[in-house]
Homo-oligomer: A and B are copies of this chain.
Amino acid sequence: LLTNIFERRQEARQPFVRVVEVTEETDDPAVWGRNWPFEYDSYLRTSLPTATRYGGRGLGASDAGPAEQKLDKEPWLRRIFAGYAFASDYRDRRGHAFALFDQEQTLRVKQHKQPGACLQCHASNLNLYRFVGDGDVQRGFERVNPMPYEEARNLKDDRGELLIEHPVSCVDCHDPETLALRVTRPAFIAGIRALKAKQGVADFDVNRDATRQEMRSYVCGQCHVEYYFKGKEKTVTYPWANGVRVDDIEAYYEAEGFTDWVHGETGAPVLKAQHPEFEVWQQGIHARAGVACADCHMPYVRVGALKVSDHWVRSPLLNVNRACQPCHAVAENELIARVTTIQDRHYELLQRTARATVDLLDAIVAAKAAGATDEELEPARRLQRKAQWRLDFVAAENSMGFHAPQELARVLAEAIDDARRGQLEAVRVTRGG
């Protein structure tokens, strides 16, 4: 029975007509665009503004300037980032078209030394990795990571051509032969392997073992994840060996004895969390139901007589009829209202957690001023590290609660508990307090 069905599958699939050849070397999306104009056109739109109540906020191509300054919208961010590059410049994300430009413009790069590791997620970098790695991507990755950012970013090949020219591009997510989705980022290949091993799946090779539906999220998980630069090799690493819940990752860092920086006001050794969309999404009901990033952020769109994936990767709230309604037969404004209910509730709790954390900073500062010793301050500082890690983890996640509402509220509740307990510890050691 089934064999007949399988045969018919093949008939149903017609090969793409290609007007130009695209290869592993083709990092220029314009070239791919000649074969697949619909995807390319929508990809180009990632340079347009995409503001929603909480999302996007990119200013767009019309204005070559930077996106909005998060540090001004949420002043408490400057407090928790005290003494770290993020306190100098931390802005709203915007479309993929800006990925490379925004990285070059940020004061975090202009005023602070950064390694080549930064390039893993902001540029179409396979040619660079192959060149530096003598044809081997993994080796190139390892050699580029510790280079100074400017050096890596401006490397030229033998023909004197820049190796880094584009932000995330077609070849980073697609096999140029089959166009099948694929993962190209070394840190993800290693990270997902460690995670699967922890979950009992040995020797997981993502490009060999993942299903198509999984790949519709994994290609995003290449970059929308928490990371750190491991050791002096500055290896971009995803800390998933214990799992991807906030507590699992914290346990990983404790075991590694890792610290991002020493807090400028309190002297506590603290961690920086970055955009853990992939980790948080896994805690939510949608992931549980097999709903992929691309289902919502790259919904299919009808173009004439063809159905294609919308490569204008952006907030689904700008695209509800396609992003949500196929699964939720509910009016558009009602769907947006549901999201807003979740996000407003989340935002309110986020602010409360920020207040608790800032109170903790004040308390430690006061204790220090009154002459508390490092030994006396140790318990309070340890709790600051825990509280701040959780607050930052949630604040850095970009869905304002939507990807996993209950889980993120739980994390904030724990942050509040840690912050207030830290405050009690600080008060306890404050002389004449």
Chain A residues with a Cβ under 8 A of chain B: 285, 288-289, 330, 338, 341-342, 345-346, 348-349, 352-353, 356, 401, 405-407, 409-410, 412-414, 416-417, 420-421, 423-424, 427-428
Contact = CB atoms under 8 A, between A and B. Distances in A.
Given A406-B342, A406-B345, A407-B345, A289 B417 contact: no
Closest 6 CB pairs of A and B: A420-B420, A409-B409, A413-B413, A405-B406, A416-B417, A406-B406
A276 B159 CA distance: 73
B352 A413 contact: yes
A215 to B, nearest CB: 22
Contact of A352 (B285, B401, B417, B427): B417
Could you say which of A288, A289, A420, A423 has the most chain B C-beta atoms within 10 Å of its C-beta? A420
A412 B423 CA distance: 19
A410 B349 contact: yes
Could you say which of A330, A417, A427 has the most chain B C-beta atoms within 10 Å of its C-beta? A417
Given A412-B413, A414-B352, A288 B338 contact: yes
A330 B289 contact: yes
Contacts of A406: 342, 345-346, 401, 405-406, 409
A413 B349 CA distance: 8
Contacts of A420: 416-417, 420-421, 423-424
Given A348-B410, A353-B413, A401-B406, 16 more contacts: A288-B338, A288-B341, A342-B406, A345-B406, A345-B410, A349-B410, A409-B413, A412-B413, A413-B413, A413-B416, A416-B417, A416-B420, A417-B420, A420-B423, A424-B424, A427-B427
Contacts of A348: 410
Given A288-B338, A424-B423, A424-B427, A417 B356 contact: yes
Nearest to A352: B417
Nearest to A338: B288
A317 B288 CA distance: 19
Nearest to A337: B288
10 contacts: A349-B410, A349-B414, A352-B414, A352-B417, A353-B413, A356-B417, A409-B409, A416-B420, A420-B421, A427-B428
A72 B326 CA distance: 49
Contacts of A427: 424, 427-428
Contacts of A407: 345
Contacts of A346: 406
Contacts of A405: 405-406
Contacts of A417: 352, 356, 416, 420
A330 B288 CA distance: 11
A331 to B, nearest CB: 12
A428 to B, nearest CB: 8
Nearest to A423: B424
Contacts of A414: 349, 352
Nearest to A285: B338
Contact of A410 (B285, B330, B409, B424): B409
A342 B341 CA distance: 19
A117 to B, nearest CB: 34
A427 B420 CA distance: 13
A335 to B, nearest CB: 10
Nearest to A428: B427
A315 B139 CA distance: 57
Nearest to A348: B410
Could you say which of A342, A346, A406 has the most chain B C-beta atoms within 10 Å of its C-beta? A406
A416 B390 CA distance: 15
A85 B289 CA distance: 45
